Amino acid sequence: MSFAKTLTEAGLPAVATTIEKAQKYLLSKQYPEGYWWAELEANVTLTAEYVMLHTILGTAANRPLHKVERYLLKQQCQHGGWELFWGDGGELSTTVEAYFALKLLGVSTDRPEMKAARDFILARGGVTKTRIFTKLHLALFGTYDWKGIPTLPAWIMLLPSWSPFTIYEMASWARSSTVPLLLVCDKKPVWSFPNGNIDELYVGGRDKADLSLPSGDTTIGKLFVYLDKVLKICEQKGFVPGRAKALETAERWVIEHQETSGDWAGIIPGMLNSLLGLFTIGYSSDNPIIVKGLKSIDDFGIETDEEFHIQPCVSPVWDTALTAIALCDSGLPANHPALVKAGEWLISKLILRSGDWAIKNKTGKPGGWAFEFYNEYYPDVDDTAVVIMALEKMQLPDEQKKREVMDLSTRWVLSMQCKRGGWAAFDIDNDLDLLNQIPYGDLKAMIDPNTADLTGRVLEMLGHTRYKTDPAVINRAINFLKKEQELEGCWFGRWGVNYIYGTSIVVNGLVAMGIDNREAYVMRATQWLNSVQNEDGGWGETCNSYVDRKLMGQGTSTPSQTAWSLLGLIAGGEGRSECARRGIEYLVSKQNPDGSWPEEEFTGTGFPGHFYINYHFYRNHFPLTALGRYFHHA
């Protein structure tokens, strides 16, 4: 009997139809190689920086920069600014970078769009109020003074492993972006181009610009600003210990960390900065390393007949594993040809070499997955756990090989447990929060600490695969989660927006490990989910909940966040509740005729408070997973 027929006979025909349409839609999106892959939509800054990079390197020829112009202008909002995430009302640094890129592309400052952008920027304090990375990009063109950029001393590359700080205390994304910037900040280059000036964006004029570094209200922040002044004086006097050796070490590190595909760390900031760093120290734009790197950035682009823009990253492993789980949980046979192709493709992407994670993890053996097509230095715990769960649900021709791969990768995940009991994304014990206080770290994303959502994911994986694990490992993880629970009963979501995401994953993890869903702390979580349901039956949460706790669980309903809430309620024993029923009705009513769901909101998180992502498949596979699991509990 088919899954859809079973649903119909159970009195759930609308759910059956919705599931069938969603399955057909996702199956139609599978690539011939076996993977799924959809766009990661972010703000316009990375596309603006793409324009800046090619302007500096002189490599704009044969690249669709005229389409970038159309894209940037189309993304501008009526208020004149550009948004950090959909519906946020516009953001200063994003708008400054978009304005500058348009100016480099030759757009006249007399155009109404540019005037509106100037008004938006000046009303919010102008260039001097932007983030450090925006100022750094402007400094490359001489339109912001290097005196206002935090010092990045190259000698940090020479610090011994026993030092309280090395580059491996930075998160992988910060490390891959910062090491090449050591090469840039040592030279402090300035490239001049027509239209490469935005003095009109300084409130009160550039000659009166306040170049002081933000110190915040903390004593340690003020101390770091004072230290930066000392470092600047040392630079001016030529006192930079080990400079030549440090720069050589940084250069070698950048070259060694380039993937065979040309990528660096699988993220655009690391790729852009690596190319800038190498170009700064004399690598020509036709050097094979540069050429390969530029092509890898082009491969992150999305081009249509009219527009072109850059994604921050690509997500085929992530998309494939989550889509496979959705198809399995909604009744597709475990040996369906689409799932077999997906499973075999996933196994082919297993990373069997050591990466940066091995610097601090001395016991783990390689065996993880990365987010992207190529990123061998940086497999991550979240992707690996999700792939293991997807493989568990599939039936592949070579089941023995599958089990061996799952065993190897599970042991790698277990080796990544942090001292506090939880799991982080890319490293263990990467929690030197002091780094978020340095002037350079104004995005507060310098570290990769263990988090509730990742810990919940690992527990869910261990529970579903029934992997025999040392009870002490599980107890440490559960105790970590108990300590991380918010007073309201929810959990923080580091990698998805926000408390809805974190709460859903943690509840699923706890219950998968055998925790009774009637335990008081689990019930507090499901009660919280019930309490934040919207009147339309869905759930939603704004990205602003990262900066204002009063907004936790509040926002316009979205398919992805509704699905997360339902998954939390179902795991928590509330699958037959009125709230769950209304949530299911919301998903059924919002489905598009082609089987997809609409979602403009950004529900993925890069850096809380500073960078968000709209995963274009989140709106489709998570609702399908929720609908499938609902049937099993209805």
First to last CA, the chain: 18
Q: How far apart are CA 141 and CA 135, in angstroms?
A: 10
**In 3-state terms, what secondary structure has residue 40?**
strand
Report yes or no: 462 and 508 within 8 Å, Cβ to Cβ. no
**In 3-state terms, what secondary structure has residue 309?**
strand
**In 3-state terms, what secondary structure has residue 474?**
helix
CA distances from 180 to 262, 274, 295, 397 (A): 15, 5, 18, 45
Report yes or no: 316 and 373 within 8 Å, Cβ to Cβ. yes
Pairing of strands 308-310, 604-607: unpaired
Pairing of strands 611-615, 604-607: antiparallel
The contacts of residue 217 (CB under 8 Å, 6+ apart) are none
Q: Is 382 a catalytic residue?
A: yes
Sign of CA dihedral 300, 302, 303, 308: negative
Q: How far apart are CA 268 and CA 310, in angstroms?
A: 8
Task: Quickly list DSSP for 332-362.
Answer: --TT-HHHHHHHHHHHHT-B-S--GGGGT-S
Strand partners, 611: 607
* Catalytic residue (choose from 356, 382, 431, 448): 382
Report yes or no: 629 and 329 within 8 Å, Cβ to Cβ. yes
**In 3-state terms, what secondary structure has residue 554?**
coil
The contacts of residue 157 (CB under 8 Å, 6+ apart) are 167, 179, 182, 246, 247, 249, 250, 253
Q: How far apart are CA 144 and CA 130, in angstroms?
A: 11
Report yes or no: 371 and 383 within 8 Å, Cβ to Cβ. yes
Q: How far apart are CA 248 and CA 336, in angstroms?
A: 52
Q: How far apart are CA 159 and CA 526, in angstroms?
A: 47
Q: How far apart are CA 628 and CA 564, in angstroms?
A: 13
Cα of 379 vs its chain's centroid, Å: 14
Q: If you search the block for the tokens 């994604």, which residue do you land on?
A: 311
The residues that are catalytic are 382
